[in-house]
Amino acid sequence: MKSKILFLKPIIKEKIWGSESWGVSAYRDADCIIDGGEYDGRTLSDLWKKVPELFGHADYPEFPLLTKIIDAKDDLSIQVHPDNDYAQKYENSLGKKECWYILECPDKASLIIGNNAKDHEELEDMINNGRWSELCNEVPVRKGDFIQIDPGTLHSIKGGFVILESQQSSDITYRVYDFDRVTDGKKRELHLKQSLDVIKTPGKYRECDIIHTTDVHDEKQLLESNDCYKVWKMHITKEADLSHDEPFLICTVAEGEGTADGKNVKKGDSFIIPCGIKDVPVTGNMLLIMSAL
């Protein structure tokens, strides 16, 4: 019998700073293809529209979530994302609420999360005068940390990080500063007006806002629950069953390898457990990051 689980082929995107593997996506130019099973070769967006019973949810015209692994060889731009209201008004898109699980990072690492401007007037002055070291709020982090990034939060991932990102299905990014890097003979576009529109002040992010996750074996650990998604961590060390009461469940192998519903899976692989599918057998030694509406 063919597996009812939806295994997906990742989409690899090369960037000036490294690469991204979009493991679960139905976004405009990055529509994942189903790998095997009854729906082999069909796109995720096609199934969302034509076989909605797989997902048990009809409130969204398009598949609403996205999962990627970011491999940063160099620093990403200092950037910000809009919320739903702003993105729908100006970009015809969902906003971009996202969260990070740190898979790899250097020793004594830090990330830029939040800003140090006391109000919008100071924010504008810091940006217009290039006062980046004063503006950017740096937070120490380590492998296994989980960080929620709300729209309006200034942020940047640094070189040497590998991060699993769970997010809304959106690619709307406003660059505030890009270190004057040049590609194809010119500097990349900045989005200062939009950034000033959406960056929230005061926008201080504190170390205590970061979840230092623990490694509880064979149990789902809820890391985040908000109006856009829920995210869990689960370290599989023996045979277990993945059950859920969500419209659908996205699973990504963050570390290790094993099997899911009898199919071999390894680090970087992603699959979706559709609506109504219960007790999916998983085996091996692997870390799963899971998300749902």
Q: What is the pLDDT of residues 67-97, one digit of tens each?
A: 999 999 999 999 999 999 999 999 999 999 9
- The segment(s) of the chain belonging to CATH 2.60.120.10 are 6-212, 221-292
Short-list 59, 13, 7, CA closest to 171:
13
Contacts for 25 with CB less than 8 Å, ≥ 6 apart: 11, 31, 32, 44, 63, 66, 67, 68, 169
Residues lower than pLDDT 70 in the chain? 1-2, 58
**Mean pLDDT taken over the chain:** 95
175 among known catalytic residues: yes
Q: Please give the pLDDT value at position 2.
A: 64
Q: Please give the pLDDT value at position 58.
A: 65
CA dihedral 203, 206, 209, 212 (to 10 degrees): 140
Q: Please give the pLDDT value at position 204.
A: 86
CA–CA gap between residue 73 and residue 30 (Å, rounded): 22
CATH of 221-292, one of 3.10.180.10, 3.30.450.20, 3.40.630.30, 2.60.120.10: 2.60.120.10
Contacts for 3 with CB less than 8 Å, ≥ 6 apart: 36, 37, 261, 262, 263
CA–CA gap between residue 95 and residue 28 (Å, rounded): 14
Contact 110, 206 (CB under 8 A): no
Assign domain 6-212 to its CATH architecture: Sandwich (2.60)
Tokens of residue 258, six digits: 């094993």
Query: How far, in whole angstroms, is CA 250 from its chain's centroid?
Result: 12
Short-list 111, 172, 120, 184, CA closest to 142:
111
122: helix, strand or coil: helix
DSSP string, 21-69: EEEE-EETTEEPEE-SSTTTT-BHHHHHHH-GGGTT--S-SS--EEEEE
Q: Please give the pLDDT value at position 279.
A: 86
**Within 10 A of 25 (CB to CB), how many other CB atoms are there?**
25
Catalytic residue among 42, 131, 142, 175: 175
